[in-house]
Structure 1
Amino acid sequence: MAKNTSRRGASRGGSKKQSRQVPGWVWLFTGVIGGLFVAFLVHLAQVQMEQGRTGGGDRTAVEKPQPEEKDSDGAAKDDQPKFDFYAVLPKMEVIVPKGEGDEQEASRGGGDDTAEGEKTADKPVAGRHDKRFLLQAGSFRNEKDADRRRAELILKGYQARIQPVDMDNGDTWHRVMIGPYDNINTLHRAQDKLAANGVETLPIQLKD
């Protein structure tokens, strides 16, 4: 009986030792997995660092957009119609100085204060009966902008029309013309009235 008991105890102790032992391949597999995981973390950290450097360089290279310059009315300059008064004047026309004809009107002794004076001022100046004058109210690249200006002038009671002008470089400008006027004094009064309404004009004299 004592022998049987000792054998049983020995067998139990051996079974415990065998159950506690872990196979070597398990440790090997665990080590490989751990190494791969560490290598993955290192690679991921390197990729993030490279992306951070590249992104930082791109941000420094990109310039901030400049805000649009605005005029006194708060509207962007790009939204305003583009026109040029002087670039498209044909050779047959000359610009009339603003002061021309005013001295003739002033020498009449303030004739504008009476109806008779107004009629006298509207008469052609002596020696200028064969002259004809126009007011250019803008010269636009876009025909729609020119037509919009013409409509505004018609609503104000002016006789306005659009005159296309072909340039040597192939561009076409659309001039908005008012008139004609046979009296330079009447021309200047119309110019002053338009200026008071915010419309810039250019007086033009037609050559003979």
Structure 2
Amino acid sequence: MAVKKKKSKSDSNNSLGGFLPGILTGILLTVTFNYVFNSNPEVEKDKIKEIVNAQEIKKRTYDFYKLLKENEILISDDDISVPEEADSGAYLFQVGAFKNANDAEIRKVELVLLDLPTQVEESTVDNGEILYRVLVGPYSNTSKTALARAKLAENDFPFLLVKLKQ
């Protein structure tokens, strides 16, 4: 048979005994912090008034527009040159090289669905092996080349940019 233990008065006062010193310590730290780190506000107000009264408020003048007119540089028509076209060559994208012709045709169909001009070219490698290269293009216009490159990259097709020999 278990005997019930009676609560003593000291058990109920223990929690209150730890709470009160914590509160008092917090109040003491707060008062000390405010005393140490807060200086006299009257002294600071006097310093601010001295600074404000000592300096005249000057209106800012901007001379930006004046400087622009004075520093204008005139360029003659002879000095203006038309930029030359960077490259007039034609480019192809090689989007795959397969040992199996069916794999090359599958890739070709995927690219045709993206509205890209595609062809499969059969080529022989040095060791006599036949590869089926999937080519997109040719493009002679740089903007069309950039559009095709963006479509290929957007659809996660690995590609090589190949410049055609003239």
TM range (shorter): 0.3 to 0.5
TM-score, scaled relative to structure 2: 0.46
Larger radius of gyration: 1
